[in-house]
Structure 1
Amino acid sequence: MSLPGRLVKQIEIKSDGDVFHELFSSRPHHIPAISPTHVQGCDLQKGNWGTVGSVLFWNYTRDGNQEVIKVIIEAIDEEKKSVTFKTTEGDLKQLYKKLLVTLHVDTKGQSNLVTWTLDYEKVNESVPDPNSVMELAQKVTKDIEAHHLK
């Protein structure tokens, strides 16, 4: 039985949308310094920073728990300012057979819109939707915005 789902959240930011996109597409290893409460590490395990097919290993805190995740950069679209990460290993794989995280930034002058999309498939019916993952994405987004507005 397949249990797919999708969560989408849009967040308006006042910081530079191009810089936001670049941070996730090419410099994710800078995020722990910007949002240390939520992300403690991002290491390159294979490939090169900012390259499709590269493998990243993240240490983060979700719901007060230290967790890890390994992802492959599945797509980077510089024109559309989007990045897609596919989960391959880690704590969330116990809950979701599939988890794709896509970040898209619409830049419009002083105001920019960050859209997070989570496409997932639960391992069983008792697994909750990944709302806590979306909450984490929102917190990191706000930390990055605050950092760039300093």
Structure 2
Amino acid sequence: MASKLVSQTKIKSSGDVFHDLLRHQPHQISNISSHVQSCDLHDGEWGTQGSIISWNYVHDGKDMFGKEIIEEIDEEKKSITFKVIEGHILEVYKTFKLICHVDTNGEDHLVTWTFEYEKPHEDVEDPHSLMDVIVGITKDIEAHHLDQ
């Protein structure tokens, strides 16, 4: 059962800086947000399609792990697609993708996170609490860049 969950967050910091951090320096996010413990590169190079990275993060008060492949990068649209290939989230969902898209219109910057996932059955809840974590990380990154 394919599903989608979307969240948009306005940020005051630069959308370009946000996209660049997520693409080229996601390992720095653990220094910015308490939700992320670490981000490691397993294969490829930071910021390149096909690279494999892993995350240690906190979700619902528990330490979690996820490994993702950077499936697509669209520099023009400031969009990155991560496909989960290992980890806790695949214990709940058959497939899971995270897409981050940054829109910049003058002084306005909008970060859109989209989750595309497949539930094994209808009883599985949508990942609203995980989206809350991602939005929290987004706000932590914004606050970090505004402080600089």
- Normalising by the smaller structure, the TM-score range is over 0.9
* 1:92 match: secondary structure: helix
1:74 alignment counterpart: 71
1:85 partnered with 2:85: no
1:102 alignment counterpart: 99
Supply the AA of the counterpart residue of 2:29. Answer: I
Unaligned runs of 5+ in 2: none
* 2:94 match: secondary structure: strand
Aligned residue-pair number: 147
Supply the AA of the counterpart residue of 2:20. Answer: E
1:51 partnered with 2:34: no
1:132 is displaced (CA, Å) by 1.3
Unaligned runs of 5+ in 1: none
* 1:96 match: secondary structure: coil
- Name the Cα RMSD after superposition: 0.7
* 2:63 match: secondary structure: strand
Any conservation in 2 of the 1:94–1:123 contact (CA below 8 Å)?
no
2:123 alignment counterpart: 126
Distance (Å, rounded) in 2 between the aligned partners of 1:132 and 1:88: 20
2:24 alignment counterpart: 26
TM-score by length of 2: 0.97
* 1:148 match: secondary structure: helix
1:146 partnered with 2:143: yes
Distance (Å, rounded) in 2 between the aligned partners of 1:128 and 1:30: 31
1:102 is displaced (CA, Å) by 0.2
Q: Which moved more, 1:118-127 or 1:52-61?
A: 118-127
1:19 is displaced (CA, Å) by 0.4
CA deviations over 1:58-86 (Å, ceiling 9, x no partner): 00001111000000000111110000000
* 2:13 match: secondary structure: coil
2:113 alignment counterpart: 116
Distance (Å, rounded) in 1 between the aligned partners of 2:65 and 2:120: 18
Supply the AA of the counterpart residue of 1:27. Answer: Q
State the 4+ residue runs in structure 1 displaced beyond 4 angstroms.
none
Distance (Å, rounded) in 1 between the aligned partners of 2:25 and 2:99: 16
